[in-house]
Amino acid sequence: MSPTDHSSPRRRRPLLKVAGLLVLLALGGYLVVQYQSNGGVGAPHCTAGAPGGRSGGEPYRMSPEQAGNAATIAAVGVAKGVPDRAVTIALATAMQESGLRNLDHGDRDSLGLFQQRPSQGWGTPQEIRDPVYAAGIFYDRLLEVRGWARLPLTEAAQEVQLSGFPQAYAKHEPNATVLTAAFAGGGSVTCGGPAPTEPGRPERVRAELVRIFGKQVRVDTPAGPSPAKEGAAAPEAEVTVGQPQGPADAAFRRARVVAYWAVAHSHDLGIARVSYASRGWTAGGAGGGWQSERAASARSGAPGDATAQADEVRIFVHR
């Protein structure tokens, strides 16, 4: 460095500190604006928790895309009647392979949640990028593995995936266990963020639930919009999911799975409210959590339904 060079590291440090502070202030201001523009509810996000904080893991926070995919993987497992262990293996595999995102790319011709390859007989590219199909064929292949339920998670997943990094699945087991307890067991699923402003897709809600559960559930779309109080938000389209005759415990479990699936998919399907077992969830309200049906209905401006069956789920899609 020449004697006339005044840009020494010592003199640049205060300038760098000032520049860094300005960046932080700008970022903070941006986040405040985003928070206020969303009605004070922050960016969309979902949190899954095990019953009473059990199952050896902390609540798991994720994006709406990740939550929707996790909910679908779990729902397909419940519909197929696989043990919870299989759901945990599937979720841990998808967490490693794609970060619970439905990718349109991957190593060689790998695609989708599980990075399945058309050239290896997993299906067409379109099928593999369908989360319901991808989860279903993963479970089919897993159940073909002899003694899969007695294998360590990483070995069971590797038998299906034939990955070049077979030990990578193990680190996801604690979080996958929490997700299984939340979406397929007795845990909890909450989703926060702004209420939908664009019209939702009740026909897709109905179609997806029929694809996943088939005749295990009864999916009805009542004629006309759902009623709303004077001055309340625009009417909503209702999708009602009931349970055909069968064991009560299985019906209650399916209803809970459907309710949490709907909440997890609220962002992409325009779902404004979900009602289940005398509880209600409202998009943009109560920090993304569940309330009593009376409190949730009062907040949304729509009347509750005290006559709903305990194993019935009512999904209200924004119009």
User: How many CB atoms are closer than 10 A to CB 218?
Assistant: 14
Q: Is 305 exposed, middle or buried (0-12, 13-18, 19+ CB in 10 A)?
A: middle
Q: Average of pLDDT values for 208-221?
A: 94
pLDDT at 234: 57
* Phi/psi of residue 235, nearest 5 degrees: -55, 155
Query: Which residues of the chain form beta strands (DSSP E)?
Result: 45-49, 60-62, 188-192, 218-220, 236-242, 271-276, 279-282, 290-292, 313-318
* Phi/psi of residue 183, nearest 5 degrees: -85, -25
Q: What percent of the chain has pLDDT over 90?
A: 67
Angle between helices 248-264 and 202-213 (to 10 degrees): 140
pTM for the complete prediction?
0.82
Nearest in space to 182 (alpha carbons), one of 52, 314, 43, 313? 52
* Summary mean pLDDT of the chain: 84
Radius of gyration, alpha carbons of the chain: 23
CA distance 241 to 275: 10
Give me 173's structure tokens. 């087991």
Give me 40's structure tokens. 């004070």
| Predicted confidence band of residue 221 (pLDDT cuts 50, 70, 90) | confident
Contact 42, 193 (CB under 8 A): yes
| Predicted confidence band of residue 225 (pLDDT cuts 50, 70, 90) | low
User: What one-character DSSP code corresponds to residue 238?
Assistant: E
The model's pLDDT over 131-177, given as tens digits with 9 standing for 90+, comes to 999 999 999 999 999 999 999 999 999 999 999 888 999 999 999 99
CA distance 135 to 127: 11
Give me 235's structure tokens. 């009417």
pLDDT at 60: 96
| Predicted confidence band of residue 214 (pLDDT cuts 50, 70, 90) | very high
pLDDT at 53: 54
pLDDT at 97: 97
| Predicted confidence band of residue 275 (pLDDT cuts 50, 70, 90) | very high
pLDDT at 286: 77
Secondary structure (3-state) at 269: helix
Contact 191, 64 (CB under 8 A): yes
pLDDT at 44: 87
CA distance 222 to 200: 16
User: How many CB atoms are closer than 10 A to CB 145?
Assistant: 16
Distance from first CA to last CA of the chain, Å, rounded?
68
Give me 200's structure tokens. 């939702």
The model's pLDDT over 49-100, given as tens digits with 9 standing for 90+, comes to 998 755 456 899 999 999 999 999 999 999 999 999 999 999 999 999 999 9
